[in-house]
């Protein structure tokens, strides 16, 4: 006995996607069921302690919505930029013999562009914390 959606076919038609659709419907139904059941069965006692923001056991001090210096975000973005640069060295390291001098010149140009960007960042004062 063989189900129609498990038959191997060479053509790409909608029947080939039926198992994925059934799994998606089952997953969405399971999530909805769990959310509805937990809403009806779960406790509903609201006390002042439960309604207070959780600060990992530390007493709340001030407002969490105070402005934050843009320097933190700038340093994070620059870190990601220069960290991702290292990922591009891996293909060169694996294939450096096959790439030869042309590959070496390309890597030197790549590094030179990032060093130029780093010099630009230093000249703009993006990494200075004293202001």
Instruction: Give which of 48, 76, 77, 53 is closest to 65, Cα–Cα.
Output: 53
Average pLDDT in the 40-44 region? 86
Question: Is pLDDT of 25 > 90?
Answer: yes
pLDDT tens per residue, range 60-106: 677 767 777 777 787 888 888 778 888 888 888 888 888 888 888 98
Instruction: Give which of 44, 47, 43, 5 is closest to 22, Cα–Cα.
Output: 5
CB 105 within 8 A of CB 83: no
Question: Is pLDDT of 39 > 80?
Answer: yes
Report the share of the chain in percent with pLDDT over 70: 86
Pairwise CA distance, residues 120 & 112, whole Å:
12
Domain spans of the chain? Answer: 4-51, 70-124
Residue-averaged pLDDT of the chain: 81
């Amino acid at each position: 006995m063989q189900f129609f959606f498990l038959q191997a076919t060479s053509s790409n038609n909608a029947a080939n996607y039926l198992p994925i659709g059934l799994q998606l419907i089952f997953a969405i139904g399971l999530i909805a069921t769990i959310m509805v059941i937990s809403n009806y069965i779960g406790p509903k006692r609201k006390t002042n302690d439960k309604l207070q923001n959780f600060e990992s056991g530390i007493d709340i001090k001030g407002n969490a919505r105070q402005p934050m210096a843009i320097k933190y975000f700038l340093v994070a973005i620059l870190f990601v930029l220069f960290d991702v640069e290292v990922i591009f060295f891996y293909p060169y390291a694996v294939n450096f013999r096959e790439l030869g001098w042309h590959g070496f010149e390309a890597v030197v140009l790549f590094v030179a562009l990032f060093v130029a960007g780093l010099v630009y960042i230093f000249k703009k004062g993006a990494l200075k914390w004293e202001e």
